[in-house]
A and B are shown apart, each in its own frame.
Chain A
Amino acid sequence: GQQVMQIPQYQHVQEGEDFTTYCNSSTTLSNIQWYKQRPGGHPVFLIQLVKSGEVKKQKRLTFQFGEAKKNSSLHITATQTTDVGTYFCAGRSRDYKLSFGAGTTVTVRA
């Protein structure tokens, strides 16, 4: 079945620095979504990418969907303490389910 892998599992970032988390699928995806889960909270939808090579920005967050629609990345610039949490990617192939990656848990050093 479809598998979605995320790296790194943990990301420790100095406040103000940039970082990137990556998501790779074993199969071609119809779309990919990103969610953020704050500590103690539930996942919240951030964005969906549909087109090959698509790039979307939300303030300091840049999301990219690969040309082959099998990988994606999330790049955060000038990390702030509000960026703390776990970021999940989730890919949809053809049916009613999303396959979630294991997530990248981000901690920020002030």
Chain B
Amino acid sequence: SQTIHQWPATLVQPVGSPLSLECTVEGTSNPNLYWYRQAAGRGLQLLFYSIGIDQISSEVPQNLSASRPQDRQFILSSKKLLLSDSGFYLCAWSEAGAADTQYFGPGTRLTVL
């Protein structure tokens, strides 16, 4: 069966510090991968999606970046965090091809102070 992992689960970082969040998927090949951000009490904002290794699409301009160095690994990064980067970051995967059912990881709760 497929599983999706995210770490860390929680993170407190000072403004201006770098960020690296990791997501890995097991049990499937060539998945579509997604990064979402959820502000407190809000909906899901799509940040990045990837349909293959080194194929990243950005949905919103920001100081975040994403990379997919391996088929089932998706990394969200920042060189300098802003206060507004605080939120709940969710990684998700779906089967290759059309974006049907998305399976979410447990999320990383980021607080920027």
Contacts and interface: CB of A to CB of B under 8 A. Distances in A.
Contact of A102 (B42, B90, B103, B104): B42
Interface residues of B, number: 22
Interface in B35-71: 36, 41-44, 46, 49, 51, 59
Contact of B100 (A44, A88, A92, A100): A92
Interface residues of A, number: 23
B51 A96 contact: yes
Interface string B86-113: 0000100000001111111111000000
B43 A88 contact: yes
Given A42-B105, A42-B106, A43-B104, A100 B99 contact: no
A103 B107 CA distance: 18
B32 interface: yes
A54 B98 CA distance: 20
A101 B46 CA distance: 11
Interface of A: 30-31, 33, 35, 41-45, 48, 88, 90, 92, 95-103, 105
6 contacts: A43-B104, A90-B102, A92-B98, A96-B49, A97-B49, A105-B41
